[in-house]
Amino acid sequence: MTDAVVESAPAAGSFSELSRFLGEKKLLYLIIEHFKNNDPVPVYRRFGERGRLAPEGLHYVSSWVDEKLERCFQLMETEDRSKVDEWIHNWNDLVDFEVYPVISSQTRSFLLRRRQNEFLDYPDRRQNQSIKYYARP
């Protein structure tokens, strides 16, 4: 991996628009940290000496480390994506990053119900036309 941030982008505007629609001000980001040279020691040393180095407005939610101690998976929350980039800048000499905007299961359920309702919304209903079903004699 290079020092550049690798990011997967959601469909244009869908993530932030949905969050606003649902009244969510803070967005969640799943951040995958790849320890350079597969060496977590410098990262944990700096963390022990200086803390998380997160800017104001970026909140740590939770994290997990893979069993080989090569990657860390962090869930962070912020209203401003630039706070994630600022935090990454504090660590990119020791870590390569992937950043993914994520949604909660509750939001996912809402999206699936909405998609299902759109699928079931036949064109005849949108035009206020009745669909008549007749029972066999």
* pLDDT value of residue 6: 42
| Site of tokens 């977590």 | 40
pLDDT bin (cut points 50, 70, 90) of residue 11 is very low
Q: Please give the average per-residue pLDDT across 79-97, as a whole number.
A: 96
CA distance 26 to 20: 9
Can you list the domains of the chain with their CATH numbers? 6-122 (3.30.70.920)
Measured on CA atoms in the order 61, 21, 88, 69, is the torsion positive or negative? positive
Dihedral angle at the C-alpha atoms of 19, 20, 21, 27, nearest 10 degrees?
A: 10
- Kindly report, residue by residue over 20-63, the tens digit of the pLDDT: 556 666 789 999 999 999 999 999 999 999 999 999 999 999 99
Query: Burial level of 66, CB count in 10 A (0-12/13-18/19+)?
Result: exposed
For the entire predicted model, the pTM comes to 0.67
